[in-house]
Structure 1
Amino acid sequence: MSDTASSRSRWPRLHLFELIDQAWCPPAVRDHATNYLATVSQKMGLFDAVAPLLQRGLTAGATDALLDLGSGGGGPLPRLKELLAREHGLQARVLQSDLFPNAWAQARAQAAGVEYLSGPVDATCVPPELRGMRTLFNALHHFRPDQALRVLADAQAQRVPIGVFEVVERSPRGVLSSLFIPVIVLLFTPQVRPLTLSRLLFTYGVPVLPLALFWDGLVSALRAYRLEELQRMTGTLSQAGYTWEVGQARRPGKPPVTYVLGLPEHQEPSPSKR
């Protein structure tokens, strides 16, 4: 057995529970956690490498709209919207959504010139009236394989482009990185807005947030899909008129981003009959 195959066999995917996924998780804890994660991805530019992939998806879908699923506390799209305009000359419209909408994120979205839906949206069954290129950032690992397949299949069935992007990885490096999360939360929290009394209490008084984010970060690493798993998954969706691409996007100074890109093939309108 090769070293690579041996390494893979030691790291099977474990679908343990994440705290903020649970319906019983206190909304204040979930909102504080997702706001923190959104701030980290925005300020550190963790997903800057995917801007060219978004350009390709928007072009393939002949749309200027980005429909983000599982937005949580907001995610990186406001920053990516600026990158698309500055580096690619695209003026994109952004619509954020989540199964558990975040009220604070809605206010921040409005201030950033994007919209955040107040009602819940299920990424496995998106209402057909919500059009545009679908995106998920660090969200696919929340779904079991059959659910993840439904997320991708729904986009293909609706013939809309979709981009799935993850910086978490199931590897020794990914697991070891999660061990530093509590310290990073303590250091990074002063940059999170709104910096409320309850956030300070749950971070420095009773350290609920550092521990919750550590657990969810560790579980995310154990849940993350590998490239070969995503390739097998998209291989089952092979269909004329729609193409799938799996790979890693890179940008100097940023972590690699594992991605799945689904693109409807452009169809020229049929000539009118005389």
Structure 2
Amino acid sequence: MVGAGDRFRSGELTVIGRVTTASNVTLVCEVIGTAPDDANGLPLRVVYKPIRGEQPLWDFPDGTLAGREVASYLISEAIGWALIPETILREGPFGPGMVQRWVEGVDNHTEQGNRLDLIDLCPAGAIPEGFCEVLRALDQEGNEVSLIHADDPRLQRMAVLDVLLNNADRKGGHALEGVDGQVYGVDHGICLHAEHKLRTVLWGWAGQPISDGLIADLTAFAKELPGAFADTLSEHITDAEIDALTERTRRVLDDPVMPVPRTARPIPWPAF
């Protein structure tokens, strides 16, 4: 019997939908096979982004966005944080591309009531307990609102990962709260540039110390980064980008404080 892991890597992908809000071709697929997914007895669902569907970016000319997504996943795994769903490069119906396990997210907006998402908007200045304010702006109706995110250690760990990845596109919709209680980051196609590109909605901890536990994880990662792991990353990003990752890791360890915005555009647009 074919297991879910084997199907994920080599099973036939059947397209069942498309994420129309994505800038690049993003397809939702199920993997054909007779074996149910080991976890829940349901068909194995994945996200598939074919390389041929990528929009060229002048400031990310090297490699592929799919490769950057895989490299970001490998880094998250090497640190031991498991913040990115399993992500691989493989063949699909439209050629090679990134395939990532689907995350079943929590629905905070039900008939029984609403609660705030991990990253959300609220009336200006009315910051709920347990949330951090990032900025104030006007919504589509011209009302002043606050962009906020949960003061949640699961999300804070993602903010630290984004510093290492030099994530240029951490939108509100790119942080998912799974029904399994974990928080996952998705859409890492424009990460790992050698030049500073950090754009994120997770600025609520700017200037605050990074916890000792996270620094211990990064200390172990810094020892693993040279050698074989760097060789693995070189299949997806350039040597200059690997050197820049090493330097970003060293800077965090030398000064274990969350950075503050230092560009005119520190937040991606749109923010969600």
- Asked whether the two chains share a fold, i.e. TM above 0.5, the reply is no
Structure that is richer in strand per residue: 2
Indicate the structure with greater helix content.
1
Relative to the length of structure 1, the TM-score reads: 0.29
